[in-house]
Amino acid sequence: MLKRMDDGTSKETTSRSGDSLFPLEVSNIGLETVGQSLLRDVSFTLAAETKTVIIGPNGAGKSLLLRILNGLLQPTSGHFTWAGRTTDAAVRARQAMVFQRPVLLRRSTEANIHFVLNGLSLAERNTRTQALLEQAGLTSRAKTPARLLSGGEQQRLAIARALATDPGVLFLDEPCANLDPSATKEIEDLINATHASGTKIILVTHDLGQARRVGDDVVFLSAGRLVEQATVQDFFAHPKTALGRAFIRGEIVM
């Protein structure tokens, strides 16, 4: 059901439209609101090739970090660069975001994708829309009002729409939080296919199983701080910190 968009076999991430955004270098990012420090001194570097999972307990600041990287929030301290560039319009144009609760327009499934395909001729738009629908396994649902789709279908549509602009990096904020295992599997397959076609994945999840299944490397946050960054294998086999060990064992860390 899930089909790759292009038949390119390479994993090159210096991809189809423009230069690579990676490495992403995050330096001492902090986010404070009145009297509260939500993120403190977070620094890490991400490479282009991997699927990165950002994990941590509730309130760790995972979603905030993702929103900062997508430019939806301004950090109150620190900075980050995409292959040495600060976030400018060209960088922004190559990012796409999928939210925990899919935000779908009150339109048909295909119209939701059509909406983001600016600057193309109608014929190109239609071709691209059909390809994306097929990739997301939604071809038979093209004319259905988007908000009448099942939860899993809605999230697949949100991902397909995010992919419409052919992003260099796809942010996903707990995309499977409300989904059953089979719908989760379909989303994960779609994420893997997206990665295989050359898009960097940055996935926020609190589901350790998903982190293991999908992730190549881990950024582990707790209480607004970066606790560990490692490959998925290393993190789950030999966590370096007490917090990491406790989190893997399922003990609450706050």
Partner 1 sequence: MPDLSSIFALAVGLVFSFDAELYAIIGLSLAVSLTAVFLGALFGIPLGAALASLSFPGRGALTAIINAFMGLPPVVVGLVVYLMLSRSGPLGVLGLLYTPTAMIIAQTLLVMPLIAALSRQTLVELNSEYDELFRSLRLTAWQRITALIWDGRYGLLTAALAGFGRAIAEVGAVMIVGGNIEHVTRVMTTTIALETSKGNLALALALGLVLITISILVNAALLSLNKTARRLAYA
Binding stretches for partner 1 (CB under 8 A):
70, 72, 89, 92-93, 95-97, 99, 103, 105-107, 115-116, 118, 145-148
Closest distance to partner 1 from the beta carbon of 144 (Å) = 10
Closest distance to partner 1 from the beta carbon of 167 (Å) = 11
Closest distance to partner 1 from the beta carbon of 100 (Å) = 10
Distance, in Å, from the CA atom of 109 to the CA atom of 153, rounded to the nearest integer, reads: 10
HEC letters along 98-164: ECCCCCCCCCEHHHHHHHHCCCCCHHHHHHHHHHHHHHCCCHHHCCCEHHHCCHHHHHHHHHHHHHC
Closest distance to partner 1 from the beta carbon of 225 (Å) = 25
Assigned token pair, 206: 């609190």
Between 70 and 81, name the residue whose CB sits nearer to partner 1: 70
Distance, in Å, from the CA atom of 195 to the CA atom of 191, rounded to the nearest integer, reads: 6
Distance, in Å, from the CA atom of 53 to the CA atom of 220, rounded to the nearest integer, reads: 8
Between 94 and 195, name the residue whose CB sits nearer to partner 1: 94
Gyration radius from the chain CA atoms: 18
Closest distance to partner 1 from the beta carbon of 142 (Å) = 15
Between 23 and 145, name the residue whose CB sits nearer to partner 1: 145
Closest distance to partner 1 from the beta carbon of 241 (Å) = 32
Closest distance to partner 1 from the beta carbon of 205 (Å) = 19
Between 70 and 139, name the residue whose CB sits nearer to partner 1: 70
**Of 100, 108, 83, 107, nearest to 23 (Cα)?**
83
Between 129 and 222, name the residue whose CB sits nearer to partner 1: 129
Between 102 and 239, name the residue whose CB sits nearer to partner 1: 102
Between 93 and 246, name the residue whose CB sits nearer to partner 1: 93
Measure Cα distances from 136 to 29, 185, 188 in Å: 35, 13, 11
Beta bridge mates, 26: 44, 80
